[in-house]
Amino acid sequence: MGQVIEINGKMSTLIPARDTTANQTLYAFHGYRMILATVLIVIGLTAGDALGLGQADPMLYQSVSGIYLCLVVFSMLCLVREIGSISNQIGGALVVDILTISLLVHASGGASSGLGILLLVSLSGGSLLLDRRNALAMAALSSIALLSEQLYTQLHTLESQVNYTYSGLLGVAFFAVTMLAQLAGTRLRVVEAVAVRQQSELSSLEQLNEHIIDRMESGVLAVDHDDQLLLGNSSAWQLLQCPIQREGTSLARLSNKLNEELEIWRATSRSDPVIVEHGDKRLICRFQRIGDHKQSTVLVFLDDNYLVTQHAQQLKLASLGHLSATIAHEIRNPLGAISHAAQLLAESKDVVPNDRRLTEIITNHCQRLDEIVDRILSMSRDQTPAPQPLNLDAWLNMFCDQVSDAGDTALPRPSIKTESGLTAINFDPTHLYRILENLCSNANHHGTAYQRPLSVKVHAHQGADNQIVLDVIDTGVLIADEIAEKMFEPFFTTGTHGTGLGLYISRELCRTNGAELIYTNTGGNGNCFRIVARAA
């Protein structure tokens, strides 16, 4: 079990069971022992007499040196195969070193041979990986071993070759080196534990960031100064219609238009979002540089213009619902009272004919205001679209049958023209019915007001970029340019009986379904209201 310390309020073990740093230290330690065992054998065979090694007992010296080399090789095998814990391997190696060097000291004539100093290296290396208690135990064992060797020599030899003072000082050195190695090792392990924890936290934060970015509804791309993609989330790949991730490729290969807008932004640093056409999508793009340097990474945020517009439209309709409730409460109630009072006044016998005409005017305008309130309230009810694929050929014929057979509100039957092979349109059928009914009704009333023959034609054809175009064309009087600029505004009307909300509501319903309603003239006599919608 390793020494445990507190790091940033958390308990951490200084000596893990296995890690790269501990293994590297173990390999270095056993490498030193391998070299030491080899050198001891070679010197004993070649220059032992000159250096005084094995002079007291050459046979013991050679035997212990050979056994020591075998034990070191065995320790290396245990390390490679990861047999036993680090503490057990270090402890076993130090015990072997202490016994071996003590025997070699005895075989070489005692402490005066100087071989005892070799234990300083073993203790310093082993103490780096041992906890304090075991390290001090090894230092004590080393001191006891050398003192025991001195005592054995004094008791079993005639000549006094003992030097207790030297052995005692060497024992003090053992403890000093052990404490210094422990201090250095503890600091190194603390630094390593902090580094490992920080690396783990950094890795966790990186994974968290990647998870958050990947779960974002907006597309996110990270682009370096060479326009190479560093990162992209799943929303970005979906918006850019990439089946696989394209990190490491250039932005220009992914979207040339997007790359051009990025270069313009780098040159101008404009803050306004831009619209980029990519396939059948219109993308809202925003750029943000990470850091202040011009070579810093740039984040590109992508949003589907259709979804953003639809969301804004839903917010607008929600606000309109609150407004409608206020109108119903603040206007309709007093309006009803005014209308009722005008009716009672008209029924009075004391009202002169001229005043009766005034009551009729009041009643008519009350009815007009009540109609405006009804139209506004209708805008706030059931506006959430439920789009579905519609076969235009069959659906338009059904529409014409219904509007031309609606009793008192029936309209002249429009003529239908659809291209062959036309794909289905993705639209809420209720909303599309209201839009076309309003456009046909406007065309009919507009032509009737000028007392001229009128025909209405609904032409469905394929547009660009997977779009369906519905043209409602009439042969009425051409709408003036100054009126065309304002006719989609709420409450704008050129007549005395309209509410000025028909075209406004039609355009809002189109936008709710991801479509657009525009006006264009036919190039001659007549007008064209065009619905541009997505194909199913």
pLDDT value at 55 more than 60: yes
Note whether 339 and 416 are same-domain residues.
no
253 assigned to some structural domain: no
246 assigned to some structural domain: no
Nearest to 136 by CA among 176, 187, 78: 176
Task: Name the band, by pLDDT with cuts 50, 70 and 90, for residue 11.
Answer: very low
Cα–Cα dist 14/184, whole Å = 13
Q: Which of 175, 204, 233 marks a domain boundary?
A: 204
pLDDT value at 3 more than 60: no
Note whether 151 and 24 are same-domain residues.
yes
Cα–Cα dist 525/534, whole Å = 29
273 assigned to some structural domain: no
Other residues' Cβ atoms within 10 Å of the Cβ of residue 439: 24
Cα–Cα dist 504/507, whole Å = 5
Note whether 342 and 450 are same-domain residues.
no
Q: Which amino acid is at 279?
A: G
Note whether 34 and 156 are same-domain residues.
yes
Note whether 356 and 463 are same-domain residues.
no
Q: 471: which strand partners? A: 459, 530
Note whether 357 and 395 are same-domain residues.
no
Structure confidence by residue, pLDDT tens digits, 305-347: 877 776 776 677 667 667 766 766 677 778 888 888 888 887 8
Residue 188 pLDDT: 80
What is the arithmetic mean of pLDDT over 374-398?
Answer: 78
What is the arithmetic mean of pLDDT over 125-147?
Answer: 86
Q: Where does 16-110 show beta strands of DSSP type E? A: none
326 assigned to some structural domain: yes
480 assigned to some structural domain: yes
Alpha-carbon torsion (444, 450, 451, 457), positive or negative: negative
pLDDT value at 431 more than 80: yes
Quote the domain boundaries for residue 122. Answer: 4-204
289 assigned to some structural domain: no
Nearest to 224 by CA among 243, 248, 246: 248
- For tokens 């990861």, name the residue: 82
Count up the domains in the chain and report the number: 3
Structure confidence by residue, pLDDT tens digits, 448-483: 655 555 677 888 888 877 788 998 888 877 888 888
Q: Which of 183, 204, 225 marks a domain boundary?
A: 204
Note whether 421 and 509 are same-domain residues.
yes
Note whether 36 and 164 are same-domain residues.
yes
Structure confidence by residue, pLDDT tens digits, 248-304: 788 888 888 888 888 888 888 777 888 888 877 788 898 888 877 777 888 888 888
Confirm if 271 and 333 have CB atoms less than 8 A apart: no
Note whether 65 and 16 are same-domain residues.
yes
